Amino acid sequence: MNLRIPGPTPCPPEVLSALGTQMVDHRGPEFAAVLERVSSGLKRAFRTENDVLVMTCAGTGGLETAVVNTLSPGERVLSVSIGEFGKRFAAIAETYGAAVTRLEFEHGQAAAATRVDEALANDPSLTTVLLTHNETSTGVTNPLRELAGVVRRHGKLLLVDAVSSMGSMPCEVDAWGLDVVVSGSQKGWMVPPGLAFVSFSPRAWQAYERSQMPRFYLDAGKARESAAKGQTPWTPAVSLFYGMDVALEMLEREGWESVFLRHQRCADVARQGVRSLGLELFADPRFASNTVTTVRAPQGVSVSDLRKALRERHGIVLAGGQGPMTGKVFRIGHLGLVSEAEVQAVIAALAVELPRLGFVAPVGVSRSPA
């Protein structure tokens, strides 16, 4: 199967075999050594001296960790949203009683720094900003460095969803001044779902001291205290730590710059290939994501029929649209374990299936993929 969804990504054989390693005492020295290697590898990947906590939960649990450890009920928060995951981050904060002001941008667009600046200037009672680095539902990467600069100038706390970007494209926690940053194992890390990685800056720890949100399982202070003893507060997903240990070693061997370039090349193949078929890209090209390419539904073709044909006749699995974009787009995931050849195979299969399903490319478009 060529699994081309934006996570879970396929896992390398080395990771799969590490997952089958026998259990150890999660309060003993073997696990402490794995935790230490994984945490320090993550700090290098996040480009930070901050603590990076490894939580046993989905990426959404990582977002919840960011919220419950820094905010208090009634606290005023600005949610900058460019799609479904931005909305989810806001919903979590609201669920725990934060007073959320929403600044939403049209699907397919990135957030405009000037609008964020205005929103923060207009309401000095806002304490915190929620931002998505890479919006997986639309295939848009926000200009995080620029946006973070605005948030920093206003002196607000910045919580970042980097679930589908960290480890696949540049994301510099310390240099860009990001306070809490979240990622998830099933994305660029090439590990099965189940671990969330959450970095906390010194400012975020100060917010933790003030924060009045209810929390237990996701208490970052407990995680930090346990980590200092080489443990986690609760029984961790030990096997996933084994997988992460191996995956980080593989990614570092490849080199982070090479990993980022590989993602960029795969994204280029996806974007050029899609256009060569006469299809339309959904995202503003200036902000098109290097981990997921969103394509408008081909004229006259149902997205579910297209996905079914690719799955059944080519062994290729693509993602559909989420929320309001269901049926309007399909998405090609190219993150984690991915090569240009695998993305090229998607384009070649689309070139076969689109005409079979009745799609007629606009005049002037050659039918052969680039």
Q: Which residues bind ligand PLP (CB under 6 A)?
A: 7, 58-60, 85, 132, 134, 136, 161, 163-164, 184, 193
- What residues does 321 pair with on adjacent strands? none
In this complex, which beta carbon is closest to ligand PLP, that of residue 141 or of residue 276? 141
Residue 160 or 301 having the CB closest to ligand PLP:
160
For ligand PLP, the closer CB: 240 or 277: 240
Nearer to ligand PLP, 191 or 297 (CB): 191
With residue 80 as reference, give the H or E element that holds it: strand 76-81
Q: Smallest gap, in angstroms, from Cβ of residue 85 to ligand PLP?
A: 4
Min dist CB 81 to ligand PLP, Å, is 11
Nearer to ligand PLP, 79 or 136 (CB): 136
Backbone angles phi, psi at 101, to 5 degrees: -100, 130
| Contact in structure between 291 and 263 (CB atoms under 8 Å) | yes
Least distance in Å: CB of 7 to ligand PLP? Answer: 5
Q: How many CA atoms does the CB half-sphere of 51 hold within 13 Å?
A: 17
Which of residues 132 and 211 has its CB atom nearest to ligand PLP in the complex? 132
The residue type found at 286 is R
d(C-alpha 283, C-alpha 2), whole Å: 23
- What would the two tokens of residue 134 be? 């890479």
Closest residue by beta carbon to ligand PLP? 59
Write down the least CB distance from residue 271 to ligand PLP, Å. 19
Report the nearest approach of ligand PLP to the CB of residue 178 (Å).
Answer: 15
Q: Which is nearer to ligand PLP, 59 or 233 (CB)?
A: 59
- The residue among 163 and 269 lying less far from ligand PLP, judged by its C-beta, is 163
> What's the closest the beta carbon of residue 166 comes to ligand PLP, in angstroms?
10
Pick from 96, 167, 93: nearest CA to 133: 167
The span from the CA of 42 to the CA of 36, in Å, is: 10
**At 78, which amino acid appears?**
L
Give dist(CA 7, CA 91) in Å, integer: 22
d(CA 71, CA 207) in angstroms, rounded, equals 7
Taking alpha carbons only, the member of 292, 290, 336, 33 closest to residue 192 is: 336
Q: Which is nearer to ligand PLP, 19 or 301 (CB)?
A: 19
Quickly list H helices, 238-316: 238-254, 256-276, 303-314
Give 58 or 345: the residue with its C-beta nearer to ligand PLP: 58
Backbone torsions φ then ψ of 48, nearest 5 degrees: -145, 155
Phi, psi of 50 (to 5 degrees): -70, 165
Least distance in angstroms from the C-beta of 182 to ligand PLP: 8
Dist. CA 175–CA 46, nearest whole Å:
10
> Distance between CA atoms of 293 and 313, rounded to whole angstroms?
22
Task: State the nearest-atom distance from the C-beta of 8 to ligand PLP, in Å.
Answer: 9
Encoded amino acid at 191, one letter: V
Q: How many residues does the chain have?
A: 370
Tokens 């005409």 locate to 355
Minimum Å distance from CB 134 to ligand PLP? 6
- State the minimum distance, in angstroms, from the CB of residue 176 to ligand PLP: 17
